[in-house]
Amino acid sequence: MVLAVRSAQLGRAKQIAGWLAATMTLGTVFLVIKGFEYHHKWVHHLIPGEGFHIAGTTDPAAQTFFVLYFCMTGLHALHMIVGLGLLAFLVPKALRGEFSAENHNWVEGVGLYWHFVDIIWIFLFPLLYLLGRHHA
Amino acid sequence: MSTVHVTPVRTYLLVFFALMALTLLTVGAAHVNIAHHLPGQMTDAINDAVAMAIAVTKATLVILFFMGVWHSARINKVVVWSSFFFLFVLFAFSLADYFSRGWLGVPGK
């Protein structure tokens, strides 16, 4: 993403589109991995509700954790889908040469949004996947 | 936007690799019971504190370089850091409730 912004600052239209597409590819890979992860949770009865079941615990906190897990990762995925939509909107604009060194606020703005979503994941990853792991 | 600073690719690569290294570090640190390796009576919370300290470091790198705050005007820096400061204040107030809830006995609980 930053390399797309950099290309925009230098007014290199084709490069902007290339880096935006690269960002979209990596973003999509992330969402596909999330999809497999959700499917895995489904298969193992980890969706909160009637069918929820973890071997060896009846602690209601376990369900609370998975409610938080799905809300947080789901909202993050939604943010990413919005981001991918914005990137998809910018690629043809970049290819048409609409951005230049003097006019690329769209690229800068979407870049800021994308990195904001990035920061959310920097905090969600340790909170949801790592804390408490040293007990296991 | 004509006086915009163009950061060299090298800087972005360095930041990227630093972020990756910190990700590995936080995953590694999560598997170690840090309190066992320190002298004195440390609580388990030290692991959580280390994970969050690494996350804050990573977020700072993203804000400074990927969001371009490092090379932006002083007024932008004031806005960005004061925003994060107040976000932190809001989190602190919320967490103060969670941490202190068990301190007083609640009748009927």
pLDDT digits 0-9 by tens, B39-98: 766 677 788 888 899 999 999 999 998 888 888 889 999 999 999 999 999 999 998 888
Q: List, in order, residues 6 or more apart from A14 with CB less than 8 Å away.
A: A94, A95
Please give the structure tokens belonging to residue A24. 């979209």
B47–A131 CB contact, under 8 Å: yes
User: 3-state DSSP call for residue B42?
Assistant: coil
Of A87, A121, A125, nearest to A106 (Cα)?
A: A87
Please give the structure tokens belonging to residue B42. 């440390």
Q: List, in order, residues 6 or more apart from A66 with CB less than 8 Å away.
A: A41, A46, A47, A48, A52
Give the best residue of B48, B61, B98 to mutate against chain A (max A CB count within 10 A): B48
B7–A3 CB contact, under 8 Å: no
A2–B65 CB contact, under 8 Å: yes
Question: Which residues from B are below 8 Å from A135, CB to CB?
Answer: 33, 44
Of A121, A122, A115, A113, nearest to B22 (Cα)?
A: A122
Higher pLDDT, B45 or B11: B11
Decide if A133 contacts B31 (C-beta within 8 A).
Answer: yes
Low-confidence ranges of chain A (pLDDT < 50): none
A130–B63 CB contact, under 8 Å: no
Residue B3 has a pLDDT of: 57
CA distances from A11 to A14, A17, A119, B7 (A): 9, 12, 27, 14
pLDDT at B2 over 50: no
**What are the helix (H) ranges across B62-109?**
74-100
Residue A126 contacts B, CB cutoff 8 Å:
yes
Residue B42 has a pLDDT of: 66
Higher pLDDT, B15 or B45: B15
Residue A61 contacts B, CB cutoff 8 Å:
no
Q: CATH number of A2-131: 1.20.120.80, 3.90.850.10, 3.40.50.620, 3.40.50.720?
A: 1.20.120.80
Decide if A3 contacts A20 (C-beta within 8 A).
Answer: no
Nearest-CB residue to B59 (from A105, A122, A133): A122
Question: How many CA atoms are closer than 13 Å to the CA of B99, on its beta-carbon side?
Answer: 7
Residue B1 has a pLDDT of: 45
Pairwise CA distance, residues A129 & A60, whole Å: 19
Decide if A99 contacts A10 (C-beta within 8 A).
Answer: no
A3–B9 CB contact, under 8 Å: yes
Chain B nearest C-alpha distance from A13 (Å)? 16
B12–A2 CB contact, under 8 Å: yes
